[in-house]
Amino acid sequence: MQARWKPNVTVAAVIERDGRFLLVEEETSDGLMLNNPAGHLDPGESPEQGCAREVLEETAHAFRPTALLGIYMARSRRNATGQDTTYLRMAFRGELGQHDSSRKLDTGIVRTLWLTPEEVRASSARHRSPLLLRCIEDYLTGTAHPLSLIHTDPSIWR
Q: Read off the pLDDT of residues 113-153 as tens digits, 9 standing for 90 and up.
A: 999 999 999 999 999 999 999 999 999 999 999 999 999 99
Other Cβ atoms within 10 Å of 115 Cβ, number? 17
**DSSP single-letter state for residue 142:** T
Q: Provide the pLDDT for residue 77.
A: 76
Report domain extents, the chain.
Answer: 8-144
Rounded CA-CA distance 96/112 in Å is: 14
89-100 mean pLDDT: 98
Q: What are the CA-CA distances from residue 97 to residues 8, 21, 54 (Å)?
A: 28, 15, 14
pLDDT tens-digit series, residues 23-75: 999 999 889 999 999 999 999 999 999 999 999 999 999 999 999 999 999 99
Output the pTM of the full model: 0.93
Largest CA distance in the chain: 53
CATH H superfamily, domain 8-144: Nucleoside Triphosphate Pyrophosphohydrolase (3.90.79.10)
- For residue 18, the SS3 value is coil
The enclosing H or E element of 54 equals helix 47-59
pLDDT > 90? residue 108: yes
